[in-house]
Amino acid sequence: MISKNTIDTVFETARVEEVIGDFVNLKRSGSNMKGLSPFSNEKSPSFMVSPVKQIWKDFSSGKGGNVVAFLMEHEHFSYPEAIRYLANKYSIEIEETEQSDEQKEQANERESMYLVSEFAQKYFYNILHNTDEGRAIGYSYFKERGFTADTIKKFGLGYSPAEWDAFSKEAAGKGYNVEFLEKTGLTIVREDGRMADRFRGRVMFPIQSMSGRVLGFGGRILGNDKKAAKYLNSPESDIYHKSKVLYGIYHAKQEIAKKDNCYLVEGYTDVIQLHQAGIENVVASSGTALTPDQIRLINRLTKNITVLFDGDAAGLRASIRGIDLILEEGMNVKVCTFPEGDDPDSFAKKTPYEELVKYLDENAMDFIRFKASLLMDEAKNDPVKKAGLIRDMVSSISKIPDRIQREVYIQETARIMDISEQVLVSTLAQLVQKDITEADKKYKQERKEQTLKPVTGEDTVAQVRINILEGLERKIIEILLLYGGAEQEFEDVYIKYDEFGKEYEYTERKDYKVYERIYLNLQEDEIEFTNPLFKQLYTVIINHYIAHNGTLNAESFLNTLSPDLQGVVADIFMQDEKYHLHEWEEKKQIPVKDKNLSVATYTNEHIIDLRWLLLGRLIENLKSGVSPDADNMEILMAVNDYNILVNYLSRKINRIRSRFY
């Protein structure tokens, strides 16, 4: 178990903007920072980080919380894992007590798979350096590729011995469960129960997540076995999804954000050789066709991708299909090819850093010019082929979401291909309309296939009641979080009777802390929140104010909450930030009423709203208990008393509302 002292030190030291900045490209926006959501596919940034409050909020997915919540959500860390990650990042020594056997058994399946993968990486690295076979075969291969000892260490490269079950025996002997050795794909269990190593006799390339966790492996065979695949990857598992991973992203993420550009290559050695040459903002699709998930991973860090191709023309035609996917994600794409016979690996190996940078800068061209230069030679003397090339270029342009960008590329295509811009615009319009029609058809079909139960009028009214009630409960939580510690003068109006029995109102003013006022009013009617999260959060907030003399610090309070409660609190704080006073006054030139000037009124109105609605529901419940065959006097008297209270609340707020109960 990690000690409380260590956890407190981590929270005091870690900066949410620094940690999230390792995964998301953040830009300053007033007192906050914004970026593209790492949890959903979006073109406009709705992910907000507050350095002041040390919280984050993703308005596209609704997620939010503190720095630990982000790591748990984004990297699927457990709470202890997130603390360890932060402690490592900020060089904080971890104090902990020995885990019991029971606690070890409670580690979840994903964590067990991570532990197995991390053990395997260290095992293969050790075999590479400290065994005769590893040095003679694996280390020699890496040296032949030109990799230095520092590069081998940086990427955690290793070697899996040729023995049938060397790794599996070692792992099992160290206490790692065979179930997880098999689930990670490192071990193949035969029908007779014997184990075999998947990667035997191969040099090993660990594949890491953006946070550096080992997800899987790529293994290259060095022998002459023509039946065996040259490269072998880990199979799909709970922690490794090939289509969602980019090789080298862990080592490249900071440089990608810093340079605002990502070089995309095909293989492991391309990435490693470019890193060694000084180009670190590079990742690989690991030999697989580029996927939207991989592109979105880059999109979190930059809007610019430069695809690096070797000089093989046949390979180029097969690879350019990925360009349309990049364009569909609203990203800017350039293409750079190397001289015939060279690939990124070989070219980087023989080219000094300054010349390499210059070559990449001068030879990167936008995708329109690239497509034209690639296919024009074979199409220029054939009108039909030329028309097909032009149509292909316009089809790519149609994938771009931004209309201005589309128009610019249409103009460029008209110039390069010597064709009327009007014709291209017309073709583009047809393609865009076709995409819209197909998308609409798909949407309608999905709607048609949905099996929805008939909705009655009673269902609609009930849903409205629930929505309004939850909205009011959330408002009470919001007031407690934003203004709970503020002291305000509250006005109470009481009904009294004079000596002649005539009713009159008596007003009394008294100072309260806002949280005290809310607590006393809700206690008066014995009101309990109906939403379980709000109910739990209300109790936690009130207890916090009582324990801390009516004060609440957003950052420290958030760190005491569970992830679910953190999400609600972060949402409230960040919504308040989103529509902050200066945003409206400066950008929209609209004066905003400061709620702090009328917190008492604001609080009273929402308390009364909540009491009103709940009293109405209580009256309805009482009425439903009236039976024609029973003595209903007690029920009817209670209904009458509650109706008097409802009327009193109506006068108190000085307005009549529509009844939703």
Give mean pLDDT, residues 201-214.
93
Tokens, residue 658: 């529509």
| CB atoms near residue 134 (< 10 Å) | 21
**C-alpha to C-alpha distances, 336 to 128, 316, 320, 367, nearest whole angstrom:** 35, 11, 12, 10
- % residues pLDDT > 90 (the chain): 30
Buried b (16+ CB within 10 A) or exposed e, 603-615: bbbbbbbbbbbbb
Nearest alpha-carbon partner for 234 in 117, 332, 369: 117
From residue 425, alpha-carbon distances to 355, 409, 412, 413 in Å are 40, 10, 12, 11
Segment 350-378 mean pLDDT: 86
Work out the pLDDT band at 585, boundaries 50, 70, 90: very low
pLDDT value of position 424: 86
Q: What is d(CA 113, CA 215) in angstroms, rounded to the nearest whole number? A: 9
Q: What are phi and psi of 497, to 5 degrees?
A: -130, 135
Q: What is the pLDDT of residues 120-150, one digit of tens each?
A: 999 999 999 999 999 999 999 999 999 999 9
Q: Which of 436, 518, 525 is nearest to 484 (CA)?
A: 518
pLDDT in tens, 279-330: 999 999 876 788 888 998 898 888 899 999 876 655 566 567 778 888 888 8
Distance CA 202, CA 210 (A): 25
Picking from 330, 331, 332, 244, the residue whose alpha carbon sits closest to that of residue 286 is 244
pLDDT for residue 157 is more than 90:
yes
Out of 21-25, 190-194, 449-453, least confident range: 449-453
**Cβ(251)–Cβ(155) below 8 Å:** yes
Query: Please, what is the end-to-end C-alpha distance for the chain in angstroms?
Result: 50
- Give, as one character, the DSSP assignment of residue 509: E
Q: So what's the pLDDT on residue 447? A: 54
Residues with Cβ < 8 Å from 135, sequence gap 6 or more? 128, 129
Mean pLDDT of the residues in the chain: 81
**By C-alpha distance, which of 529, 407, 562 is closest to 65?**
562
**Is 0.85 topped by the overall pTM?**
no
Q: Which of 94, 80, 96, 86 is nearest to 13 (CA)?
A: 86
